[in-house]
Structure 1
Amino acid sequence: MDDEVMTVLAGVLEALWRINAEWPDKPCTLAKLSKQAQRPMSALRRQLTMLEEAGLVTLALDEGGVTGTVQFTAGGRQMAAEIFA
């Protein structure tokens, strides 16, 4: 991955970290993360797919794939804590 992609993914993880700190143990809606990360939903979904494939988040889409939730995996939470805490 190039540096620009890594920067974008780090921004998504940081926004998810902030949301998770405010509402621990509760999955984050894609709409909330899209707003916090300042990413259009279409781009956010692609970025979350990459993070899910890396094992850092779990993504649960509702029927139709339009809405859903995202949360850290244990490994993703640990990595985010090391970076953002």
Structure 2
Amino acid sequence: MDDEVMAALAALLEALARIEAEWPDKPCSLARLSKRAGLPMSVLRRQLTLLEEAGLVGLDLDDGGVTGTVRLIRD
């Protein structure tokens, strides 16, 4: 992966961490993360797929993957 992609993934993880810190007991919706990160949903989903494959986030998708929630995996 090039530096630009890595920087984008790191920024997405930081945005998710900030959301989880603000609302620790509430799941983070894909829509909220998309808005906070300033990413179109299609880009967000591609990046989250990479992060999920790396074991850094967990995705819970509903109805064909259109909506859902995401969380950081802290091991």
What RMSD in Å do the two structures reach over aligned CA positions? 0.9
1:67 and 2:64 equivalent? no
TM-score by length of 2: 0.95
- In structure 2, stretches of 5+ residues that fail to align are none
Residue aligned with 1:69, SS: strand
TM-score of the two chains, using structure 1 as the length reference: 0.84
Instruction: Deviation per CA, 1:21-45: give whole Å up to 9, x if none.
Output: 1011432000000000000000000
Between Structure 1 and Structure 2, which shows a larger proportion of strand residues? 2
Shift of 1:65: 1.1
Q: Distance in 2 between the 1:74 and 1:25 partners?
A: 15
Q: How many residues align?
A: 75
Instruction: Return 20-29 or 37-46, whichever deviates more.
Output: 20-29
- Partners of 1:27 and 1:71 in 2: CA distance: 7
Q: Which residue of 1 aligns with 2:37?
A: 37
Once the two structures are superposed, the pairs formed by residues 6-85 of structure 1 within 5 Å of their partners are: 6-75=6-75
